C-alpha cells in the first residue's frame, strides 16, 4: 500500500477569542473538514490564505500536495467577476479570493484532484470566467438555501444522470446540508451535475480531469462521506500511476 494522500484544505483568517486572548487574528477552519478527510484515509493540511499569492507561489505549494479542497466561507468579491456588489454581499476577503482563485487556476494546469464546497464552487466558476448570482432569494422567492443565520438547513438536490457526481452519489434525490445565499450563474468549462428544484445549480464538474468537482452544499456538515471518499480515491489512483 502506498503512502496516504495529502489533501490541502483552504481556510479563513478571522478574529478569534480564546481564554485571555481577545480578537486575535487566527487561521481557522471547521474541524469537520479535517475529520472527513482523515476518515477517508488521507492526511489533512490546512492552507492559510495569502494576499500575495500568485500562480507561481501556489504551484510550489501544490507540488507538495496530492489534492485540494476549496472550503466554504464568505462571498467572493463581485469585482472578481466584473459585477457591482449587491448591498447584501458579505464583506470581502481579498486574501482568500486571491489565494483560492490561484488554487483553482493552478490545479487546472497540474490536473490535481480538486473538490469545491459552497464558496469553493463559486471560486472555481469565477476562476474559469464565470459569474455568480449575488442573492438567490431574489430569484426563487424563498430562503430555503439558508433560512437561519449560523445554522445549516437541509434541502433536496437532484444529481444529473450520467455525471461523475451521479456515479458517486446516485441519481436519486438527496437531502443535503445547505447554507448559502449566492450561487453560480455561469460556469465556462464545467457541466451542470446537480440542481435544486427551484433551478439553482447545486453541483458542477469537468470530467476532462481525473477529479474536478464542486458542490454548492456542505457535505462536511453531514454524514454522507462519499464525496470525500471519492476525492481521496482519485488522489490514491494518481499516486499509484505516478
- Catalytic (active-site) positions: 118, 218, 220
Q: Where are the beta strands (DSSP E) in the chain?
A: 6-10, 12-18, 21-28, 43-47, 67-70, 114-117, 131-133, 153-159, 174-178, 183-186, 191-195, 201-205, 212-215
Residues with Cβ within 8 Å of 234's Cβ and at least 6 positions away in sequence, in order, are 67, 113, 210, 211
Cα separation values, 179 from 36, 137, 163, 232, Å: 18, 13, 24, 24
Residues with Cβ within 8 Å of 125's Cβ and at least 6 positions away in sequence, in order, are 131, 132, 184, 186, 187, 190, 204, 214
Angle between helices 31-39 and 226-241 (to 10 degrees): 60
Q: Is 16 exposed, middle or buried (0-12, 13-18, 19+ CB in 10 A)?
A: middle
Amino acid at each position: 500500500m502506498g503512502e496516504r494522500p495529502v489533501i490541502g484544505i483552504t481556510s479563513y483568517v478571522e478574529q478569534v477569542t480564546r481564554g485571555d486572548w481577545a480578537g486575535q487574528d487566527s487561521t481557522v477552519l471547521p474541524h469537520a473538514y479535517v475529520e472527513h478527510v482523515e476518515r477517508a484515509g488521507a492526511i489533512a493540511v490546512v492552507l492559510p490564505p495569502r494576499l500575495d499569492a500568485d500562480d507561481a507561489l501556489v504551484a510550489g505549494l501544490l507540488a507538495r500536495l496530492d489534492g485540494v479542497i476549496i472550503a466554504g466561507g464568505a462571498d467572493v468579491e463581485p469585482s472578481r467577476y466584473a459585477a457591482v456588489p449587491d448591498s447584501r454581499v458579505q464583506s470581502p476577503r481579498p486574501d482568500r479570493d486571491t489565494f483560492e482563485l490561484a488554487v483553482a487556476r493552478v490545479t487546472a494546469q497540474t490536473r490535481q484532484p480538486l473538490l469545491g464546497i459552497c464558496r469553493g464552487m463559486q471560486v472555481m466558476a469565477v476562476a474559469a470566467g464565470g459569474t455568480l448570482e449575488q442573492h438567490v432569494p431574489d430569484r426563487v422567492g424563498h430562503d430555503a438555501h439558508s433560512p437561519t443565520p449560523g445554522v445549516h438547513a437541509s434541502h433536496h438536490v437532484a444529481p444529473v444522470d450520467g455525471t461523475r457526481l451521479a456515479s458517486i452519489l446516485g441519481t436519486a434525490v438527496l437531502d443535503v446540508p445547505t447554507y448559502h445565499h449566492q450561487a453560480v450563474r455561469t460556469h465556462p468549462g464545467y457541466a451542470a451535475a446537480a440542481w435544486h428544484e427551484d433551478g439553482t445549480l447545486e453541483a458542477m464538474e469537468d470530467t476532462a480531469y481525473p477529479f474536478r468537482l464542486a458542490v454548492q452544499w456542505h457535505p462536511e456538515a453531514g454524514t454522507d462521506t462519499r464525496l470525500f471518499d471519492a476525492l481521496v480515491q482519485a488522489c490514491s489512483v494518481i499516486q499509484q500511476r505516478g
